[in-house]
Amino acid sequence: MSQKKLVKDLMKKLDKLESDREKLIDKLSKALDKLDKKVEKKASIKKPLAKKVVVKKIPAKKVVRKRTAVKKTAVKNKVSAPAPVVAT
């Protein structure tokens, strides 16, 4: 085949692919429009909400916490040796 014929065939294939692409884009946009309409329709139909029952708040009983007896022990202070000074 000559180069001109090859180029011509490739151009035809390219045109066909571009038209297929445009068709697919159109189909997708239509499908998205349908979905949007369905979502809007569902949003416009409101379901009646169940009546909320008011619950009376009862104050909780206060429980006095018992303190445990703590033994106090004498704390011995430890005298540590001073840290050695390093001359630099």
In the chain, where are the structural domains located?
A: 1-76
pLDDT level of residue 66 (50, 70, 90 thresholds) = low
End-to-end CA distance of the chain: 90
Q: How far apart are the C-alpha atoms of 21 and 27, rounded to whole Å?
A: 10
**Residue 42 confidence class, pLDDT cut points 50, 70, 90:** confident
Per-residue confidence at 4, pLDDT binned at 50, 70, 90? very high
**Buried/exposed code over 3-40 (b: 16+ C-beta within 10 A; e: otherwise):** eeeeeeeeeeeeeeeeeeeeeeeeeeeeeeeeeeeeee
- The predicted model scores a pTM of 0.43
Tell the residue number behind the tokens 């005298």, with chain if given. 79
